[in-house]
Structure 1
């Protein structure tokens, strides 16, 4: 199979980030073909190596230190270990900067300036450098120095205010989303900003500084619901599993499983009432507008639909919806996701060779950018072991084997 050219061939990224949000951003650039060099602390590595509940099992008893957190955000990278608090370590980073296009970091505000690794210092070495800082609250403002993690921003940015069961229902109240969504989308914003900066540099020859904040992402993620509030001044209610657009939209119980239904237009709803052999529901004053179906009459309408759907198997129910063009999907547990024919067709489980894994490979989640026709995102490297590529990268910078050994003995690398 021929390998298509990558969009970011020839772009070098220094990834000095840890945990999740910023590493996701660097990984996206790696998926698109950039040479991503991950700098980790000697002996310790990225904090994310210890997060999560599952680890890649190594061959011959090797401890890979590749947790689920690390594995999902660090493919297509080469790992080196480096103590940047030492002058010799700083010298290596500056040599890398001479060859680099992008540097990503997520240290506390001002932390790297103490070591001469801030944007202004490195810009003097390489004026074309794009330097991206990812922090919880941004580089300025009263909260800039504070640490921050995903759950904090789901709470602070408004996402939890619109997630969870409606008031008056058992278990009502704000609810955090399961995945680290603010981290994940911040990673995508990081990559998007860097791609924009690369385009700007292509036109002007100039690098630039990028300030990315999880707080900014968390507010933007509330999206059209937040816009509702800005327009009306009224906070929309939490809707549980209800849709944020039209209605009815919610989980439905079939006789042998669960289905999610979105019949959010008047025409979809009319077809649904005919399908249920209850056409009178279309003109029922409790449900005769989209607002009523999605808000005031939502609970009662879903109860009525459930009374009908609960007698029908999932496969038959989905076929009925499909026959009249009403959007619906089977609810999947995680194991079910990978049995889904469309998921399999799209190749969303990317089994990747891994020289150090007991199985000889590791199952990764494919990039959503893998369907680009000319320069698709691709997985070329499994996530690295700690410092796996140290000798290789230092040799590329001109360090001799003897000098590398001296740096190791001095615990610089």
Structure 2
């Protein structure tokens, strides 16, 4: 069964999809680390370069903090841990000449170089693409910034919230302005960061495949603004086609009714009717044959035109039974519906449990990390979770000694000079 194939464990390193790929990771916060965590889950070796001392900014983005850490070690946030499993951490001060030399030596033996510094920042350290390409002509170099490497905004800083607003997402998210609580809303996760990490993963994999065919590396320019705009594709195409600017509709759907959140006796559930056949089935289940036969509602176009009258009828009917009762009978009869779960309820769901969407890891310092598993399902090379998110600088000596042949004396000198 596929279940057994997907859930197999005990892979050797050579069985992993990206076991032959080494990534030099100079990213922090979320978009870049999300990309490199995807690559790590697929078996790539990730060398996470951090500042000596505090490391990645998000280590301090708490509470919540990781449970179980030793008291004599700096606490790490759960935010950091959500995007940094599968990596080894080395601390190097890239503002020093010795630190820059170490990065270049690591770049010579790496396949991919990923960074998310402000435009031009790494050039002053001799770590920009042109400089790194001289060290390794086949390097795939991916830069992740807010606005991209060129254009009038390229030098501006920016965070996810800014891009959700600027890129149009908040113009279609939230309740209608005419209703109580109406107005723009951001999505509840850092959507621009996550999607940029995902698009960056795709770009890196495409560049790896191209290099396999051509022997050539290349430069990748990724932008949070570009990615959040691209994410709005279906709304944008509708705008280009009609000239009508999409607006906020809360939980309603512009092209389908009923398709939204409906009140029950003890809460709310989602009803998602996608065609006229499902509409008839739904009406039969809720015992509203009068609505099924009403010519104003028999076709989806009519239900859209008469949305307010129809929803008023449905709201009244749906409030006669509990959420659990409605979900049971609707699901039994093939009517698309679902609960509105909080995250405690999500991970109590039998399908979520079956799909093993929770992964548990433990660090050597005793910190316990539970997180969402990778959704990727590959039969031969499924994701693996070999390394928990590292303590800052945990692997500095190991990496420099094993990969660069740095001896104990040089390590001591680098540490004394605060390069590492």
- Judging changes above 3 Å, is the alpha-carbon distance between structure 1 residues 171 and 374 closer, same or farther for their aligned structure 2 residues? same
The residue that corresponds to 1:347 in the other structure is 356
Whether the 8 Å CA contact 2:171–2:184 is kept in 1: the answer is yes
* Match for residue 417 of structure 2 among 379, 392, 410: 410
Match of 1:115 in 2: 125
2:81–2:369 CA contact under 8 A, matched in 1: no
Q: Is the 8 A contact 1:64 1:356 kept in 2?
A: no
Indicate whether 1:3 and 2:14 are aligned: no
Match of 1:386 in 2: 392
Q: Distance in 2 between matches of 1:169 and 1:299?
A: 13
1:79 partner SS:
strand
Q: 157, 160, 177: which one pairs with 2:187?
A: 177
User: In the aligned structure 2, how far is the partner of 1:335 from the partner of 1:87?
Assistant: 49
Query: What displacement does 1:304 show?
Result: 1.8
Q: CA deviation at 1:93?
A: 0.4
Q: Number of paired residues? A: 409
How far, CA to CA, are the matches of 1:404 and 1:328 in structure 2?
60
Q: Quick check: 2:69–2:75 contact (8 Å CA) kept in 1?
A: no
Segments of structure 1 that go 5 or more residues without pairing to the other structure are none
1:243 aligns to 2:253 (yes or no) = yes
**TM, length-normalised to structure 1:** 0.95
User: Which residue does 1:254 correspond to in 2?
Assistant: 264
> Which position in structure 2 is the counterpart of 1:330?
339
Q: How large is the RMSD of aligned CA atoms in angstroms?
A: 1.6
Per mean C-alpha deviation after superposition, the further-off stretch among 282-291 and 169-178 is: 282-291
Deviation at 1:333, TM superposition (A): 1.5
**1:290 paired residue number:** 300
Shift of 1:286: 4.5
Match of 2:61 among 51, 76, 86: 51
- TM-score, normalised to structure 2, is 0.94
* Residue matched to 1:203: 213
2:89 is aligned with 1:82? no
Give, in whole Å, the separation in 2 of the partners of 1:31 and 1:67: 20
Residue 111 of structure 2: aligned partner: 101
Q: Structure 1: how far apart are the matches of 2:82 and 2:302?
A: 42
Q: Give me the whole-angstrom Cα distance separating, in 2, the residues matched to 1:62 and 1:181.
A: 35
Judging changes above 3 Å, is the alpha-carbon distance between structure 1 residues 352 and 299 closer, same or farther for their aligned structure 2 residues? farther
Look up the SS of the partner of 1:109 in the other structure: coil
Please say if residues 65 and 385 of structure 1, whose CA atoms lie closer than 8 Å, have aligned partners that are also in contact: no
Deviation, 1:292, is: 4.6
CA distance in 2, matches of 1:223, 1:189: 14
Structure 1 Cα separation of the partners of residues 136 and 382 of structure 2: 29
Alignment CA distance shift 1:291-1:226 (3 Å): farther
1:328 to 1:134, Cα distance in 2 relative to 1, 3 A: same
For residues 285 and 236 of structure 1, the distance between their equivalents in structure 2, rounded to whole angstroms, comes to 28
Cα displacement (A) at 1:329: 0.9
Match 2:157 to one of 124, 143, 147: 147
Per-residue deviation, 1:63: 3.6
The CA distance in 1 between the partners of 2:112 and 2:75, in whole Å, is: 26
Whether the 8 Å contact between 1:76 and 1:381 is mirrored in structure 2 is yes
Q: Does 1:319 align with 2:328?
A: yes
Q: Is the 8 A contact 1:243 1:262 kept in 2?
A: no
**Cα distance in 1, alignment partners of residues 236 and 189 from structure 2:** 21
The alpha-carbon distance between structure 1 residues 394 and 262, as it changes in their structure 2 partners (threshold 3 A), is: same
- Cα distance in 1 for residues equivalent to 2:396 and 2:306: 62
Alignment match, 1:268: 278
Deviation, structure 1 residue 356:
1.5
- Tell me which residue corresponds to 1:399: 406
CA distance in 1, matches of 2:339, 2:364: 37
1:73 matched to 2:83? The reply is: yes
**Gap runs ≥5 in structure 2:** 1-8
